[in-house]
Chains A and B, each alone.
Chain A
Amino acid sequence: MAALGARRVLRPGRRWFSETVPAAPSAPASPLYPPVVASITAKSKAAKSRRLQRFNERVHAAATVEEKLRLYGKLQRPKYMVYPQTFALNADLWYRSFTKTVLVPGMPPRTPAAKPPVATAGATSETGRAPEPRAEAPGDAEAPGAAKIPEPSAGAAPYPDIGELRSLACDALLQESFYQNKKRPFLYRDQDHTPGPFLTQLVSTLAASLSGRNPLLAASSLDLNPEVNYYWHHGKEVVVHGHRKGRVDPVRFQIDDNPHLQIRVPKQLPEVVPLESDLGDVPVIDHKPSKLPLFKKQYENKVFIGSKVADPCCYGHTQFHLLPDKLKRERFIKERLEDQIEVVYRSNGIASLFAWTAAQAMYQGFWNEADVTRPFVSQAVVTDGKYFAFFCYQLNTLALTAETIENNPRKNICWATDSKPLYDVVENGNVKGFNDEVLLRLVHFLLNRPKEL
């Protein structure tokens, strides 16, 4: 009996006279089962979002900027080729909607330069504003044929001699169009004959003479006929034909641009307005981009500012664009499309500058999932040899894809001027009707620099 009782006591489960509370099970060091998440390979929306998330993590975790760019543009699919210099009607409206850009007419107000030795003139007056002289050696990398201008002596007049700069510009113009003996231009090659070399000469001489006053120009790099490319996604569409029919894809765009000249600098230009400012509205266009007309092709997804990532001059300063013969003013006037003349300048400015600033941002490691933390500012001058239009672009956001654009209140801003002639006519070795305003604005563009310098 006692043995039976003892066995009964020892049987597990029924310990009625021992009241030990069973100890709570210790918290497991790791969960017993893996987390329940969507599949990766299934044909479902959850699986697609999980694949996208894994791709984003891969890009975030990339060690170098080159690796990030490689992964970003790895998947090739048909994409719209956006041409900055286009004959399409109302192209600048469409380009603004693709790049989420606000167009502000007129140039941004100039901030007074805070440099101690100089008494600056009125900040917003265009005429008579001047930076201080610096007796530093002017120098530009790769400026072939740039005439070496004697340096301004230290302590000379604090304002750059507008007469001197005007004579430089007139010299360049006359050299190209009057003094030099050129044969007749080939058919449809008028722009390469005279305005192209004139622009190169003008910019390189002005940059060389102003680099004494602007140390940023002295450390800059002048590119001749560089390449600027950018690839981005914006919006969603359903695939129409092919084996991927019916799937929802992002709309892909690529800009491949060849500005005539480009100045790249090692330090970034200062921001014009704060990052979150709202200066207008972005046009919304419901139609597919192919109605512009815009065409699709599949090729390499390139992101390039004009030099590779390791180059120290990785920020942009100014671009100079030359309009081709196809887009000259006389052609638009003959076809009674006068309002499209300005559209050409604006679309060129917006598209080229967006591509350049966005590529600069990608070179610093930002992309549409990792939005920019500081605005990227660049300038551009679009010309057809006689008429000059000035643009200033501030990139505030790179997040343009369908997922990231929803909660993104930031917009990119482009300040644009109308095209004004630099001179009226050149005859018998004289330049008639030279416009100083345009030259002054060009000089201000070249003298733009960060506040510390």
Chain B
Amino acid sequence: YPLFQRGGPQLRIFRPNFFMLAVRPGVPQPEDTVQFRVSMEMTKLDIRNYLERIYNVPVAAVRTRIQYGANNKRNHRNQRVKKPDYKVAYVQLGQGQTFQFPNLFPEKEQDAETRSFDDFRDKYMEKEKQKEEGDPRRGGVPDWFGL
């Protein structure tokens, strides 16, 4: 961006190329805190303006940190493979609003058909497993052992 000097025009970005990804927090956060993964070049002011102007979300406070991606994995050529770094923003909402990250994979209600199918499948898998283990009356001795 052009450097700001006194008397210069206010920097305005009309179509930012930033993206913010709302993520589920790994550790429990207070109710008014939302966790985002943002671009490494975004600042706290950028995040605040982004949310307030584009999404009309009242922002009370923003805190950011940079998560270092580890460089320990090795590929088939024994070269280190780095996981990318990313910036995490913790946004506290204003006006008493709260946010709870939704459960994206809720338990679906099963009707009678799926339930009976699941039961049948479980019983079949049990029978297969027992066949593999062998006769329990032989006490773990393999079946080729004998006269």
Interface residues of A (CB under 8 A from B): 88-89, 285-288, 291, 293, 335-337, 340
Are A287's CB and B94's CB within 8 A? Answer: no
Are B28's CB and A336's CB within 8 A? Answer: no
Taking chain B's interface residues, is the majority helix, strand, or loop, or is none over half, making it mixed?
Answer: loop
Given the known interface contacts A89-B92, A286-B28, the answer about A291 and B58 at a Cβ–Cβ threshold of 8 Å is no
Are A89's CB and B61's CB within 8 A? Answer: yes
The residue of chain A having its C-beta at the shortest distance from the C-beta of B32 within the complex is A89
The one of A88, A285, A293, A336 in contact with B58, judged by C-beta atoms closer than 8 angstroms, is: A336
Are B30's CB and A293's CB within 8 A? Answer: no
The residue of chain A having its C-beta at the shortest distance from the C-beta of B31 within the complex is A287
Given the known interface contacts A89-B60, A293-B63, the answer about A337 and B29 at a Cβ–Cβ threshold of 8 Å is no
Are B60's CB and A337's CB within 8 A? Answer: yes
Task: Tell me which residues across on chain B come within 8 A of A337, comparing CB atoms.
Answer: 60, 94
Task: Tell me which residues across on chain B come within 8 A of A89, comparing CB atoms.
Answer: 32, 60-61, 92
A334–chain B nearest beta-carbon distance, Å: 13
Task: Tell me which residues across on chain B come within 8 A of A293, comparing CB atoms.
Answer: 63
Given the known interface contacts A89-B61, A336-B58, A337-B60, the answer about A287 and B28 at a Cβ–Cβ threshold of 8 Å is yes
Task: Tell me which residues across on chain B come within 8 A of A287, comparing CB atoms.
Answer: 28-30
Task: Tell me which residues across on chain A come within 8 A of B29, comparing CB atoms.
Answer: 287, 291
Tell me the bound Cα distance from A240 to B11 in angstroms.
43
Are B94's CB and A336's CB within 8 A? Answer: yes
The residue of chain B having its C-beta at the shortest distance from the C-beta of A287 within the complex is B30
15 intermolecular pairs with C-beta atoms under 8 Å apart: A89-B32, A89-B60, A89-B61, A89-B92, A286-B28, A287-B28, A287-B30, A291-B29, A291-B30, A293-B63, A335-B60, A336-B58, A337-B60, A337-B94, A340-B60
Task: Tell me which residues across on chain B come within 8 A of A336, comparing CB atoms.
Answer: 58, 94
Interface centre among B29, B33, B60, B63 (most CB of A within 10 A): B60
The residue of chain A having its C-beta at the shortest distance from the C-beta of B58 within the complex is A336
- Tell me the B42-62 residues at the A interface (CB within 8 Å): 58, 60-61
The residue of chain B having its C-beta at the shortest distance from the C-beta of A87 within the complex is B61
Q: A89-B60, A288-B27 are in contact. List 9 more A-B contacts (CB 8 A).
A: A89-B32, A89-B61, A285-B30, A287-B28, A291-B29, A291-B30, A336-B94, A337-B60, A340-B60
